[in-house]
């Protein structure tokens, strides 16, 4: 049953990340850069979790060198740089293509789980994983339609090359963050300790981007209040649920469950913005749910 409990924790985390979009995207469309938003999120989270960090100083000081690398992958690469890279890719590629390419994140995570965590990958798992990925692509049916109707020659322009590199880095970073987060849990670190390392290193990693970008922080209290609300919803609650789920399931199954985020985001838009789901998206969600449940129940 722990696998199912872990799956449910990850679904709840995806739901909270989806609710977060109701605040995040309006902020970005109002002219606030992604770097600013990510910076303030990490600043607040690093401040909150610094208490946990200092309480764990003895453990961290005596940690193996490999553990520092795991934290670096989770915090600097996964939490900060991958997020910036994914956002930056939109400037070079069709947004629909960026979203579709991100669907290959589970492939990276499954491959790394086999190498880093020595998780056994059976043929039955590969079959149901492919079912899940098909479901995820059907959920993004509107993005596929948009891409099909665009100028496909732009997919091979010189600027596109940089976009592909940025998306590739984000996919590697997020996939790696899942696997190395699982590794830290196996090594005995608590969810709170993993989160403290993630946010502190993420904050330090994003500082150079803020310094050299010349960003001006002159926003209203209302703006900072909205960012603080996102910190509570997606930074603390969602990440805590995510690591609870990751602790109870394999990294390869977890990364497939993470694909419910776009489906949850579509549902949130349906409920709050009256943007109805298309039948093919509902079918995709059902296929993704079926594949994920089979993997969890059969422990593939």
Q: What is the pTM of this model?
A: 0.89
Specify whether the backbone of 299 is left (phi greater than 0), alpha (psi in -120 to 50) or beta. left
| 3-state DSSP assignment of residue 254 | helix
Whole-number Å distance between alpha carbons of 53 and 203: 14
pLDDT confidence of residue 1: 59
pLDDT at position 151 over 70: no
- Judge whether 233 and 20 are in contact, CB under 8 Å: yes
pLDDT at position 155 over 70: no
The mean per-residue pLDDT over the stretch 126-137 comes to: 92
Domain boundaries, the chain: 2-298
pLDDT at position 214 over 70: no
pLDDT at position 20 over 80: yes
pLDDT confidence of residue 220: 79
pLDDT confidence of residue 215: 65
Higher pLDDT residue, 132 or 154?
A: 132
pLDDT confidence of residue 278: 84
Tell me the pLDDT tens digit for each residue of 91-110.
788 777 888 888 889 999 99
Tell me the pLDDT tens digit for each residue of 254-282.
999 998 988 888 888 888 877 777 889 88
pLDDT at position 216 over 70: no
């Amino acid at each position: 049953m722990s696998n199912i409990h872990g799956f449910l924790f990850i679904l709840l985390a995806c739901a909270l990340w989806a609710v977060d979009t109701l605040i995040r995207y309006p902020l970005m469309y109002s002219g606030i850069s992604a770097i600013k938003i990510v910076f303030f999120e990490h600043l607040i989270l690093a401040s909150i979790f610094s208490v946990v960090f200092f309480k764990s100083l003895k453990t961290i000081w005596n940690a193996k060198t490999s553990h520092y690398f795991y934290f670096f992958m989770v915090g600097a690469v996964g939490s900060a740089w991958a997020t910036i890279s994914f956002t930056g890719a939109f400037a070079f590629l069709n947004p629909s293509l960026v979203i579709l390419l991100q669907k290959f994140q589970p492939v990276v995570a499954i491959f790394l789980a086999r190498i880093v965590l020595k998780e056994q990958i059976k043929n039955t798992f590969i079959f149901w994983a492919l079912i899940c990925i098909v479901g995820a692509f059907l959920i993004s049916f509107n993005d596929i339609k948009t891409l099909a109707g665009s100028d496909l020659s732009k997919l091979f322009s010189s600027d596109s090359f940089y976009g592909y590199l940025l998306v590739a880095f984000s996919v590697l970073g997020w996939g790696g963050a899942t696997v190395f987060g699982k590794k830290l849990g196996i090594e005995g670190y608590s969810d709170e300790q993993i989160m403290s390392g993630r946010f502190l290193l993420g904050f330090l990693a994003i500082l150079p981007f803020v310094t050299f970008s010349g960003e001006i922080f002159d926003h209203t209290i209302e703006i900072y209040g909205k960012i603080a609300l996102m910190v509570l919803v997606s930074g603390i609650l969602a990440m805590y649920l995510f690591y609870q789920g990751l602790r109870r399931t394999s990294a390869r199954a977890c990364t497939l469950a993470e694909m419910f985020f776009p489906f949850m985001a579509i549902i949130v838009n349906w409920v709050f913005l009256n943007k109805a789901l298309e039948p093919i998206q509902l079918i995709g969600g059902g296929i993704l749910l079926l594949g994920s449940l089979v993997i969890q129940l059969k422990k593939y």
